Amino acid sequence: MKKILYSFLALSFGIILNAQKVAFEEFDLDNGLHVILHQDNTAPLIVTSVLYHVGSKDEDPERTGFAHFFEHLLFEGTENIERGEWFKLVSANGGNNNAYTNNDFTYYYEVFPSNNLELSLWMESERMLHPVINEIGVETQNEVVKEERRMRYDNSPYGRWDEEVRKLLFKKHPYKHSTIGEMEHLDAASLEEFIAFNKKFYVPNNAVLVLAGDFEAETAKKLVKTYFNDIPKGAEIDRNVIKEDPILEALTGEAFDKNIQIPAIFTAYRIPEKTSRDSKVLDMISSYLSDGKSSKLYRKLVDEKKMSLEVAAFNISLEDYGVYVILSLPVGENSLMALRNEIDLEIDKIQKELISEKDYEKLLNKFESQFVNSNSTVEGIANSLAEYYTFYGDTNLINSEIDIYRSITREEIRAAAQKYLNPNQRLTLNYLPESK
């Protein structure tokens, strides 16, 4: 009966997914800008987004933090949008906007009522063609970034764990640096260095423009060409991927945090890039171990043995490598090593035994539900289209990626655990309260 129920749920989700195919068209301008259009006239709004293929991994190692800094700097204004007026212009026209940066890219977007299509395209073309990069803007945003660092990293409980893990897990690759970077690097940078960074990376041939929502395709195409076609193409960017030596012996480390009273243990593994099939298999292992209160680690360590306040496993999937992390916070006198040993027992089970059919069906249903939800808004669709094109070279993965997850077998789950989640391939970081 249960098997029938799970099969029915899987079929139901499949029907939903088949009904939610995302239609799109794409083309290139002469300057190399890739354009993706997703027309959806069900609601009177549009999303205009631009993904620039530049993140913290593209920085000079002596000038870390540049990519994130530009996420702030390029809201300062342009030749035709005065300083301080960007956000006012957006809100005055009923819109909202934001941006974010990670190791691999920087993403800007606006959401407007659909009658502001031309305005949104003009604003993003202004950001690409006419940014004003001057001393006052750099100085202002330097203070903004410093405050962000204090709030999110230095003064936030467990705020620096990612920095500490990265610098031990990567010896050569720029993933060893945090996205926010070192403040002294930003302080030391000249205005000319910021201008050069913009000239190198903020060019049409290093970007993808996505329009999603309520518009007419032919009108949108004409406007895109009007505002973007004449932006000069930039020089080709050399993307030299720095290779790490494999981890063959266990790594250990300690970090201290003045903002915590309860220690934590992090085990981290260097895994393949996000485009690999194994990365998706490890996504499923993460969900199996710690997604929800019925997951293996949560039920065992938090509910049954009451050894841990929190436990989580997750895959930080990136363009060149991924980082697979398992963390746990102890209860009472339980030691960090005791937690790690219990986690290792669960990983050992995955390595030696196939997960049950029931757990496998739950995983498939969960991933199908997540897939539907990720593309349930025009904002989500715009983001997915940009990333699938940039990093996978296959925009249609917005419709077909779930088929990859559906095809992953229980045997592959076991094999991935055997291949990547071994004690001699990992970092163990004890994250401890700083002594007063």
Q: What is the pLDDT of residues 188-235, one digit of tens each?
A: 999 999 999 999 999 999 999 999 999 999 999 999 999 999 999 999
Residue 10 is assigned to a structural domain of this protein? no
Are 265 and 185 part of one and the same domain? no
- The pLDDT confidence band at residue 278, using thresholds 50, 70 and 90, is very high
Residue 244 is assigned to a structural domain of this protein? no
Q: What is the pLDDT of residues 12-36, one digit of tens each?
A: 444 344 446 999 999 999 999 999 9
Cα–chain center distance at 249: 29
Q: Which of 118, 126, 131 is nearest to 48 (CA)?
A: 118
- The pLDDT confidence band at residue 240, using thresholds 50, 70 and 90, is confident
Of the residues 228, 260, 277, the one at which a domain ends: 228
Residue 121 is assigned to a structural domain of this protein? yes
Are 207 and 260 part of one and the same domain? no
Look at the chain and report how many structural domains it folds into: 2
pLDDT at 436: 64
Are 221 and 271 part of one and the same domain? no
Are 296 and 262 part of one and the same domain? yes
**Structure letter (DSSP) for residue 390:** I
Are 202 and 98 part of one and the same domain? yes
H or E segment at 124? helix 117-129
Contact 39, 215 (CB under 8 A): yes
Residue 8 is assigned to a structural domain of this protein? no
Residue 15 is assigned to a structural domain of this protein? no
Residue 240 is assigned to a structural domain of this protein? no
Residue 7 is assigned to a structural domain of this protein? no
Backbone φ and ψ for 239, nearest 5 degrees, come out as -105, 80
**Structure letter (DSSP) for residue 114:** G
Q: What is the pLDDT of residues 66-92, one digit of tens each?
A: 999 999 999 999 999 999 999 999 999
Residue 406 is assigned to a structural domain of this protein? yes
Are 310 and 217 part of one and the same domain? no
Q: What is the pLDDT of residues 242-276, one digit of tens each?
A: 999 999 999 999 999 999 999 999 999 999 999 99
Q: What is the CATH number of the domain that holds 319?
A: 3.30.830.10
Are 326 and 198 part of one and the same domain? no
Are 220 and 286 part of one and the same domain? no
Q: What is the pLDDT of residues 340-393, one digit of tens each?
A: 999 999 999 999 999 999 999 999 999 999 999 989 999 999 999 999 999 999
Are 117 and 207 part of one and the same domain? yes
Of the residues 228, 243, 259, the one at which a domain ends: 228
pLDDT at 435: 81
3-state secondary structure of 323: strand
Of the residues 197, 228, 259, the one at which a domain ends: 228
Are 321 and 265 part of one and the same domain? yes
Are 214 and 323 part of one and the same domain? no
Tokens describing residue 124: 């993003």
Range of the domain at 336: 251-433
Residues 209-221 as b or e (16 or more Cβ within 10 Å = b): bbbbbbbeeeebb
Work out the percent of the chain whose per-residue pLDDT is above 70. Answer: 95
Are 211 and 340 part of one and the same domain? no
Specify burial of residue 393 (Cβ count, 10 A radius: 0-12, 13-18, 19+).
exposed
